[in-house]
Chains A and B, each alone.
Chain A
Amino acid sequence: MNVLELLIAVAFMVGVIGFVSLFALFAIWMERKVSAHMQDRLGPMETGGWHGWSQTIADTVKLLLKEDIIPTAVDQPLFRMAPYIVFTGALASFAVIPFAANLIGADLNIGVYYLVAVSSLVVIGILMAGWASNNKWALYGAMRSAAQMVSYEIPVVLSLLVPVLLAQSLSMQKLVEIQAGGFWHWTVFSHLPFALVAFVIYFWASLAEVNRTPFDIPEAESELVAGYHVEYSGMRFAMFFLAEYANMFVVAAVAATVFLGGWHAPLPFLELSTEVSWIGSAVVGTAWFVVKATFLVFVQMWLRWTLPRLRVDQLMRICWKVFLPFSFANVLLVSLWLAVKG
């Protein structure tokens, strides 16, 4: 790898950090507005003018100016390390997410596998934060969070195996390429009903992965205050918050990539080939991809105001007794069909 390639990779990484920060600012504002309007309220209306669009920018400045309190009882090294691990785990996932045909950090030949491995880092960071905080709320929140994240990882991985089987590859770009040529070629529609089942299981289980309603008992405000980040304040808390929204985007982006055609447009003529214009192709591809991912993020928010929180026993029952057998059966049926077809 020469210096130019290195510089391009660094520039892309900086661009992704910028994108993640902007997306988090937008998504937090969007979440407030979506929840407000679904409850017949208005949400933030004052800051910045139109529908309080700069409310989250003001919040970020506020968090930046807040005192960073580290309680005396905490385990210092672990307490300080946790935000690094949580945020790095979230950011590292972006390295293999294809934004456009020519816009990807690293098109690894083990892309999906890398993604699954790296997203597990977040669990370690959360457990670390909960344990090091030396606080009862934090520890309970972290334990619940870890238990549900590891449990739901199995259905997530098994449903990701379905597109992998169809593409016979783990490379994220390859997974997008097989979905070229209009929305009826997208994995979710092209291999009914198996891919649709996999998509639904993936989306539900990924809600548990990012601790979203209906799987949000780790952060059940009414009983656990805030969960694993109770003791964090100021910028350290903001890093957890940023990582949470980055992870919401990652799971939505992965769903969009492997099931909903990635950067492909719904109709072939709405795309721009790299041969016509290199930059144009990157812009158009990224636009389609971000629209799809943001729509899925919107669905996550929509579900939050539609469904009640699940109890822990219901949560585990759904994972181990419904999702797990169904996703195994799904993988076996798809692979049988592929093996017979040859």
Chain B
Amino acid sequence: MSFTPVLIFFLGGVGMVFAALVVSRLLAPHRPNPLKNTTYECGEEPVGSPWLRFNTRFYVIVLIFLIFDVEVLFLFPWAVNLRELGLFAWVDMAIFIAILMVGLAYVWGKGDLEWIRPRGSSAGSAKGR
């Protein structure tokens, strides 16, 4: 088994985009002007910084994702060898998943999986802490 074809695919992807951009550079006009190069905002002049503050939900979701993604990472070697390892390995993994499910239940109960959180619940979770 060799990873060389994988490397070739990566190089090919980069090469393809590069070639397409070079061809377009040669064929397409290139006449920039200050008005054309402004940031698009429906034809209006851009207002304020584009790097807006966004909902902290995104951050919470990524944190939860990270935990489950690492968990899934552990599931792969287990899944491949399950038949040889037998019931013992299954019980092991069931306990592992159960612990994470407690975590999921906690996050669920706290209301962190709700995108739009009712106003009262944040006070509730503050009390819980």
Contact = CB atoms under 8 A, between A and B. Distances in A.
Given A88-B13, A238-B20, A338 B5 contact: no
A154 B13 contact: no
A153 to B, nearest CB: 7
**Helix, strand, loop or mixed for chain A's interface?**
helix
A136 B16 contact: no
A73 B49 CA distance: 11
B27 A338 contact: no
20 contacts: A16-B12, A65-B27, A67-B30, A68-B21, A88-B17, A91-B13, A108-B1, A134-B50, A136-B50, A143-B54, A150-B65, A151-B65, A154-B68, A161-B79, A164-B79, A230-B40, A313-B114, A321-B113, A325-B104, A339-B90
Interface residues of B, number: 70
A296 interface: no
A25 to B, nearest CB: 14
Nearest to A339: B90
Contacts of A90: 13
Interface in B1-47: 1-6, 8-10, 12-14, 16-18, 20-21, 23-25, 27-32, 34, 36-42, 46
A168 B8 contact: no
B106 interface: no
Instruction: Describe B's contact surface by its main secondary structure.
Output: helix
A78 interface: no
B41 A94 contact: no
A187 B99 CA distance: 30
Contact of B20 (A88, A109, A239, A317): A239
Nearest to B61: A147
Nearest to A331: B75
Contacts of A335: 79, 82, 90, 93
Given A64-B23, A64-B28, A10 B65 contact: no
Interface size grouping (class) on chain A: 35 or more
Contact of B54 (A89, A140, A153): A140
A73 B39 contact: yes
A328 B6 CA distance: 31
B11 to A, nearest CB: 8
Contact of B90 (A6, A146, A170, A336): A336
A36 to B, nearest CB: 28
A72 interface: yes
A234 interface: yes
A1 B2 contact: yes
Contacts of B1: 106-109
Contact of A136 (B20, B36, B41, B57): B41
A6 B62 CA distance: 40
The 4 closest A-B pairs by CB, nearest first: A88-B13, A235-B24, A313-B115, A91-B13
Given A72-B34, A88-B13, A234 B28 contact: yes
A209 interface: no
Contact of A342 (B54, B68, B86, B114): B86
Contacts of B94: 332, 336
B87 A340 contact: yes
